[in-house]
Amino acid sequence: MSDDLQALLPTGRVLTDPGLLGPYLHDEAEWAPAGTPVAVARPRSTAEVQQVVRWCIERQVPIVPRGAGTGLSGGANPIDGCVLLSLAAMAEVLEVNAAESLAVVQPGVVNDDLRAAVAQHGLWYPPDPASAPWSTIGGNVATNAGGLCCVKYGVTGDYVLALEVVTGTGEVVRVGRRTRKGVAGYDLRGLIVGSEGTLGIVTEVTVRLRPGRAPERTVAGYFDSVVDAGRAVAAVVGSGVIPSALELVDRHCLEAVDAWKHMDLAVDADVVLLGRTDTPGAAGEAEAAEMTRCFEEAGATFAAYSTDQDEADALFAARRLAYPALERLGPVLTEDVCVPTQLVPEMLTRIQSAGARHDVHIANIAHAGDGNLHPLIITQPGDDAATARAQAAFEEIIADAIALGGTVTGEHGVGLLKRPGLAREQAPEVIAMEHAVKNALDPHGILNPGKAIPVLLT
């Protein structure tokens, strides 16, 4: 069967040798199940993607799209017998239009590479997941990724103007528009964003850009507990200040980064809260002062506007490196719950309690300013009992987030790991609507089956 698939694409674009498939067999989600594909197809154009999709339709072969494989929910994991479609080679910035403040890119363009390309025109692409140096725009669109700046500037979907998509019927369509306004028809662009490859395969993305921004001011606060830091977060949000970033990182994460990268992070605190403002002039100074006040009144042992830019940049770099640094120490099960910002202290308290109750080590990082928490449950390799306890803590944290009016995923996507939790978050009637959309846009049921939406119970 793979012989005629290989004939569709130029030599070397279809991999079937088991020895070459290893890098494509799973994303970064710990303990998410993964199968074995019959082949990995690596197209370089929309036409080639369309050929592969039509081949799969004719033979009723599932197709699983994949970007850089940096996902944390199992959304890019292959299932047995599928064709895994790697879009990483479709990595061209096709257009940067400074007059219209937009860019057109292929899905394999790395987030930071897009940022660098548009910066040459004095423009800025805000969505910035911690994986920005490695993750691709296609993957960011698939999960509607967020990042450090999203507390002020929004998530990926807020910047997607239009998409080119290969549908589940093998057609190439364009949804959305390049204009700054437009409300004609259903928002099919918005429907595709965050659908994790289950409704269509994105082959081109048009994104809106912003002007380059002023340098940021950084406020650092040191706390003796994550709960105190959570109170500071609630205070900042309640003050009316909209920081350009408000990030939480605990001592475990900082020590792991320091041991790996030797960054000399001299931090005498159990938790660090990092606030930033990019508001220029005196207004920005006032916002930095207000964040400092909120930190102090919430119980910070130290809080100050940083006058050392290198030190501030190092702390934010450590925040971005926290997950891969912890991953070096053992398997890490990553959460991605989001709760109302005023309930961040309560959610952090419940995370601590879950760790103690199940006897597992939980480190904490968070996009705290918008209530998006990433508790990292760490175990030792080969410790099956610890793995079971970690999974129990994982489910308890999801249940607590839902109970507080939150959601099972703020930015990583549902994939495989969050499907059971999403079934608890959504009403059966809503799940039925999602399946109706899935059936309409993927009538052959071949696009990333078994991901992103819960099982429909009848």
CATH, residue 370: 3.30.70.2740
Tally Cβ neighbours within 10 Å of residue 270. Answer: 18
Domain co-membership, 357 together with 382:
yes
Tell me which residue has tokens 């017998």. Answer: 81
Residue 296 counted as domain residue? yes
- Left (φ > 0), alpha (ψ -120 to 50) or beta: where does 327 sit? alpha
Residue 167 counted as domain residue? yes
Domain co-membership, 261 together with 292:
yes
Q: Which domain holds residue 269?
A: 214-320
Domain co-membership, 68 together with 113:
no
Domain co-membership, 218 together with 269:
yes
pTM: 0.95
Tell me which residue has tokens 């408000």. Answer: 246
Three-state SS for 64? Answer: strand
Q: Which of 56, 86, 116 is the last residue of a domain?
A: 86
Closest residue by Cα to residue 114 from 211, 213, 215, 209: 209
Residue 430 counted as domain residue? no
Q: Which of 267, 298, 320 is the last residue of a domain?
A: 320
Domain co-membership, 187 together with 229:
no
CA–CA dist 144, 300 (Å, integer): 33
CA–CA dist 118, 138 (Å, integer): 17
Residue 204 counted as domain residue? yes
Domain co-membership, 116 together with 196:
yes
Q: How many domains does the chain have?
A: 4
Q: In the structure encoding, which two tokens stand for residue 282, read together?
A: 């005196």
Q: Which of 34, 66, 86 is the last residue of a domain?
A: 86
The two beta strands, 361-367 and 372-378, are antiparallel
H-state helical runs in 219-274: 226-239, 251-261
Per-residue pLDDT of the chain (458 residues; tens, 9 = 90+): 567 899 899 999 999 999 999 999 999 998 899 999 999 999 999 999 999 999 999 999 999 999 999 999 999 999 999 999 999 999 999 999 999 999 999 999 999 999 999 999 999 999 999 999 999 999 999 999 999 999 999 999 999 999 999 999 999 999 999 998 999 999 999 999 999 999 999 999 999 999 999 889 999 999 999 999 999 999 999 999 999 999 999 998 988 988 888 887 767 789 999 999 999 999 999 999 999 999 999 999 999 987 777 878 888 888 889 988 998 888 899 999 999 999 999 999 999 999 999 999 999 999 999 999 999 999 988 899 999 999 999 999 999 999 999 999 999 999 999 999 999 999 999 999 999 999 999 999 999 999 999 998 76
Domain co-membership, 79 together with 109:
no
Beta carbons of 18 and 27 less than 8 angstroms apart = no
